[in-house]
Structure 1
Amino acid sequence: MTRSARDPLYRRHRFPLSLRMVEDMLAARGVIVSHQTVGLWAEKFGRCFANDIRERSAGRLGDKWYLDEVVITIRGKKHWLRRAVDQDGFVLDVLIQSRRNAKAAKRLIRKLLKGQGSTPRVMITDKLRSYDAAKREIMPGVEHRSHKGQNNRAENSHQPIRRRERIMKRFKSQRHLQRFVSIHDPDFANLFHIPRQDTPSAHCREVRAAAMQMWSEIAHL
């Protein structure tokens, strides 16, 4: 993969930019590609990079799961973007669903268990009852805290995708959204995520430098 393809992929997933914005930024540097090509590169190579990031980041995620969902409207129909994050704000997994019931919650929890390879120490959600029903069936021994105020970490983690939604003028389909968030949120976003609360600026710079170094190694820059 050439550098001319790696650079737009980095811009696409690192910053809340539309495909046309990436096209214009590349044109300013003398790289002429269409926004359609940028999108094709992001889909074709994004998963490979995301898998590499996930392998290198294995073992760094926490054992405290915060689960939440947000409504995403696609072609006039409501969908629910379910998300799980850990105590440090790292995204564990995301799932787009057309239902908001216990069956949908079970699917998310099973996906999390498969991806993480272990049960959490505690699961925190809002007061949506479907989470409690799913937890009782799949993880009966796990502590479950259901309180609106304790779930802010998961709720705040929806903000980046909301910004993307506005810039991209909504997502085209459920498949389109799932494909994008499954690459961006648990992998690219986690790589550059810096827990900033009560974190010294010097440490933030160190974490950012380490993330950039890992990206350089993955992208062979």
Structure 2
Amino acid sequence: MSETSTHALSLAHVVREPAPGANPPGTRAPLLLLLHGVGSHEGSMAALAPAFDPRFLVVSARSPIVLGPRAFAFFHVTFTPQGNVIDRDEAAAGWAHVARFVDEAVAAYGADPSRVYVAGFSQGGIMALAALLTAPERIAGAVAMSGRLLPEVLPHAAPADALRDKPVLVVHGTDDEKLGIHLARSARDTLSRFPLALTYRELAMGHRVTQESLDVVSAWLTARLDETA
């Protein structure tokens, strides 16, 4: 169950504490940062928190740009027949903000800085990939659910050695009506050129989180924790 945070960090957020006794005494909890899609809010991802490994401290953050009541984003995007048009400056500020917020959350909640995972849906997934590629020293792994890889990120990607073996999961629906499957396949092909540990899954679904896709993400994250236990 998520609770409103008592820490005033740079992004509003809600928290699910690790289960009592889930982590060995004297150890810091791993951190899972959840990022929502454009036009949504932190509550949409916080609702998924019970599905994730009880060892995680789960933080669901609200994007900083206000679009309307209970509607937020990291950057403005316009959907056109020719493709999605984004505000590039806002996007760059967004992925930098994610990295900065990771530092804030680790310090505020006493999480393990070596086991920080960022998982997002749609625009949140875009930010998760961008943050990992540009700030891998802060992030152990990333999950993109129904997202894409912004070409604008690539000139800012960290050196290959800093990205080596960083685990990345891309999950996308073959029937995605908002961010077509071709965007996920393009992301897969581009990410494969980096020395990442990439897992790619296509599922029969649209632009949404299903129980099947959530199970894939949860199992993948648990496996990452088991590797570093």
Give the structure-1-normalised TM-score.
Answer: 0.30
Structure exhibiting the larger radius of gyration computed from Cα positions: 1
More strand by share: 2
Task: Report 1 or 2 for greater relative contact order, CA contacts < 8 Å, sequence distance ≥ 6.
Answer: 1
More helix by share: 1
Give the structure-2-normalised TM-score.
Answer: 0.29
